[in-house]
Structure 1
């Protein structure tokens, strides 16, 4: 039976984790995501699943994101073993913390937050009735692995993107040694031979976005260091499932003592803790306020007729590109729901602010725009028939779970390789990589939404069924979560 514990609320003057009143010593996991939407959401999902297993979890956020995730605090009433804690990221409150400024955020976390994190864990060991027994750290913050190990606390790495991207990161030193990096615009279609398991699949343009920088670039080197650092953890958690990336998982297996594949996490949450609670966790883990007015609009649209458009929480586009995209959407003649953040489009030159009449009229007739949509609900809606996506891993998995085929326009990090996996391995989408003028957008959408798209839907139905099977009782992800919880209890 799950124990109920009394959790004292955080005192902002102290870095200590709240004391926990428990009859018996229980495992206590601290989960710490990198402070970005795509990292927070899956780690919130893992938090819910471990709490449901009766394990006490402290979810650690930056102060900045802690203030934005106000609704998440209410979920501690559902899971008495959940406690929310925050820590400074070292940046001023008005810092934008958007994609162009991520290097500043990363640097600040390493220099300012690392010693605060060390002190937080040290205080837990000395003073708490229930000391932290395990840290689950985002693979994007390797110093957390080293701090936990120095203090004698077991640490598990959680990489929130695809296994195929992670494996390609491990192969970067070999690609450099073989002269296949850096890539340049003149040879982007050359095949890459240095990523075992993906021979004949990857072109240079399909490598992770960081490969378009010089190998001595600090950001490039950071990815290499982060990747190697993960092997110092005692195990690895991945938000994927065996049937989706089995060939790549076999290459990663020798690098870690244990790998827990527990995805798709959004589907596993629904399987283990029910639809209502899992939807609450998904909704409350959004850093942006969700606009649900689009659901009423979707209710009035024909079955499978709408293309959902979203490029995630970090992507930024020029006004010129936004106009090309918008023209392509309108010219396709298809209905579309576009979730476009207010900070997603860079300001244009003076005189470029006027929206062409044809875009205004076409959107009024067939489109709907919101700042931030309830993505899982949109993808699950019967009116949604396609997804124009940045190929972030969360979005890719959510689309698979919902059975909605994709047009992929990747930008950064893992998105380049995800889109290739979607289009060429799974055959559940179209890759619009590197070319996104209005004609291309129009053609891709028409192709995705055309009558007689049986082949792509047959592939999607098969891949989606495998996802649902793996999170059901007896499935691989369902079993692996049980093994993860059991291993945490043995610490």
Structure 2
């Protein structure tokens, strides 16, 4: 903080799902490291799940919450995203407005609110802040390439490319997402671009995400958790649509010195000792993220493929991910005792462990970035939204893994896991990409330079 400058107080408000909380807590850690005061806004439901003693270790960080408008026993699963969004816009927004108004004066411990950084999926949060005279920035937690795809949807609709009909040729090229004309296929567009397989209806989430993406242009700036070296072309095509753009990722690598605990799940760190007992690059790590739900048939195919590949594997298998009893199925499959199953794993520690040879992932953006930074080859089995386009970039643009989308067959799983574990070319590409991104987050690198520019930008907004 410059001498004589009033303390800067930023409210950070993520969409209340694990992946969004992760990256916005990494942003929070970076802003704390720059000397700012932060109010991190959870929902009441999520704040009850957080380890407050560790999460609020800094005297310049406090955790607050607003109701999400859903009953305590509501599952808040991927199938209920529309319910959550609707209740946040109504019940949540009323409480949020009242909270912001209360923060516009010094309260003794914290200076008055200077600025809001709100998730781009909470457009009411930036609108209400600006209406109260508080400058607001939007943070989008997905990749720049997926954001550009959403920006391109109106043009794709105009040309009849979207929505994609049931039964259409999914390998047909898509020519109207700028910079991706040479490699993007229909199957690589966000999942909401496809008509519903059973009803042939348009996914209502498509229009929501398109409108939210357009809304980001009204914020003072757009923050993206990415690096210029990864997504330079997409960033260049996004920039004309926004007032300013900050590419400051991977944030978990930039904010490592002041890292905050991010998980709403209890991590099983006993798996680290298990990994210690394995040879270098001999274990497959499997995690499909915090939202993916799969059928018992899909689970069986994934398991059979993993066992067939012959490698030991560590699987972070949430209790709510498969309807039946997957742990018993794994024990029955045997694999010579080479399987370790945990409900949730300390993923970044796992990925940097010498024993891990590849990462079978849903290609969520946080997981993709964590795999990139550690130089671990990826096997991508995307589930929905931005994961489809992320996996295409992994397989075709960056070359640090393979793309298994739209397939869940044991023979394919076995083949792709073996390729990721054994291909020297994939490993070399993954390691080169890791070195490139580490330069971005080192002092003087593009992401670190942009992060410093963001801090200055926020301070200037506070002064004005």
For the aligned pair, the TM-score class normalised by the smaller chain equals over 0.9
TM alignment of 1:159-170, pairs within 5 A: 159-170=140-151
**Aligned residue in 1 for 2:138:** 157
Match of 1:249 in 2: 235
Structure 1 pair 353/26, CA: closer, same or farther in 2 (3 Å)?
closer
Q: C-alpha displacement at 1:353, in angstroms?
A: 9.6
SS at match of 1:487: helix
Q: Taking structure 1 as reference, are residues 204 and 381 closer, same or farther at Cα in structure 2, changes over 3 Å only? A: same
Match runs of 1:58-457 below 5 Å: 58-71=39-52, 73-77=53-57, 79-125=58-104, 128=107, 130-183=111-164, 184-213=166-195, 217-270=203-256, 273=257, 277-278=258-259, 281=260, 284-347=261-324, 355=329, 359=333, 361-362=334-335, 364-450=336-422, 453-457=423-427
Per the alignment, residue 460 of structure 1 pairs with 430
Report the counterpart of residue 10 of structure 1 in structure 2. Answer: none
Do 1:192 and 1:202's aligned partners in 2 also have CA atoms closer than 8 Å? yes
The aligned counterpart of 1:471 is 441
Q: Secondary structure at the match of 1:309?
A: strand
Instruction: Provide the secondary structure at the position in 2 that maps to 1:83.
Output: strand
CA distance in 2, matches of 1:252, 1:354: 48
Question: Structure 1 residue 354: deviation in Å?
Answer: 6.4
Q: TM-score, structure 2 length as denominator?
A: 0.94
Which residue number in structure 2 is paired with residue 9 of structure 1?
Answer: none
SS of match in other structure, 1:157: strand
Task: For residue 384 of structure 2, give the secondary structure of its aligned residue in structure 1.
Answer: coil
- Look up the match of 1:13: none
1:165-206 residue CA offsets vs partner (Å, 9 max, x unmatched)? 000000001100100011133311110011111002111000
d(CA) in 1 for partners of 2:370, 2:330: 34
Aligned counterpart, 1:487: 457
Distance 1:236 1:439, change over 3 A: same
Q: Unpaired runs of 5+ in structure 1? A: 4-22
Would the aligned equivalents of 1:213 and 1:220 in 2 still touch at CA under 8 Å?
A: no
* Alignment: residue pair count: 454
Q: What is the deviation of 1:74?
A: 2.8
Q: Is the 8 A contact 1:29 1:136 kept in 2?
A: yes
CA distance change for structure 1 residues 456 and 216 in 2, over 3 Å: closer, same or farther?
closer
Question: For 1:379 and 1:25, how far apart are their aligned partners in 2?
Answer: 41
- Cα gap change, 1:251/1:173 in structure 2, threshold over 3 Å: closer, same or farther? same
Per-residue deviation at 1:316? 0.2
Do 2:116 and 2:137's aligned partners in 1 also have CA atoms closer than 8 Å?
Answer: yes
Structure 2 counterparts to residues 31-50 of structure 1, below 5 A:
31-50=12-31
Instruction: Indicate the SS of the match to 1:57.
Output: strand
**1:382-436 superposed Cα distances (whole Å, 9 cap, x missing partner):** 0001000000000000001111000000011100000000110000000000001
User: 1:341, CA displacement in angstroms?
Assistant: 0.1
1:331-359 deviations in Å (ceiling 9; x for gaps): 111111111000000248xxx99638751
What per-residue deviation string (whole Å, max 9, x for no partner) do you get for residues 106-132 of structure 1?
A: 111111101111111122225746221
Please report the RMSD computed on the Cα atoms of aligned residues, expressed in angstroms. Answer: 1.9
User: Which runs of no fewer than 5 residues in structure 2 stay unpaired?
Assistant: none
Deviation of the 1:152 alpha carbon:
1.6
